[in-house]
Amino acid sequence: MYGNNSLLIMGEAKRRKNLGIPPREKTNDIKLPQLDKKAIQQKVRSTLYKYPIIPFLFYGAAILILIGGLFYVFKSFKIVSL
């Protein structure tokens, strides 16, 4: 059972060689997509111009999270009795 383990775990190159198939051709034409910074910037700006309340909501949520975090720290370390 353990002696035949090398036959079960075989790499693709070895398997192709045993079957008489030529090696697989390597493809070098894989390229990552290029990010168009101008287009992304244009979309963000157009969204912010369309919905000018977004920055206020974002900063308001950040301030609420900070206040909640401070409240949690004060309460958990019992710095101030609330």
First to last CA, the chain: 69
C-alpha 24/C-alpha 11 separation (Å) is 12
More confident residue, 38 or 79: 38
C-alpha 43/C-alpha 6 separation (Å) is 55
pLDDT tens for each residue of 21-76: 888 887 777 788 888 999 999 999 999 999 999 999 999 999 999 999 999 998 88
Question: Are 69 and 76 contacting, i.e. CB atoms less than 8 angstroms apart?
Answer: no
- Indicate whether 1 pLDDT > 50: no
- Tell me, yes or no, if the pTM score tops 0.85: no
Q: Who's near 26: CB < 8 A, 6+ residues apart?
A: none
Closest by CA position to 18, among listed 6, 28, 29, 27:
6
- pLDDT score for 30: 76
Q: Among 4-8, 17-21, 64-68, which range has the highest average pLDDT?
A: 64-68
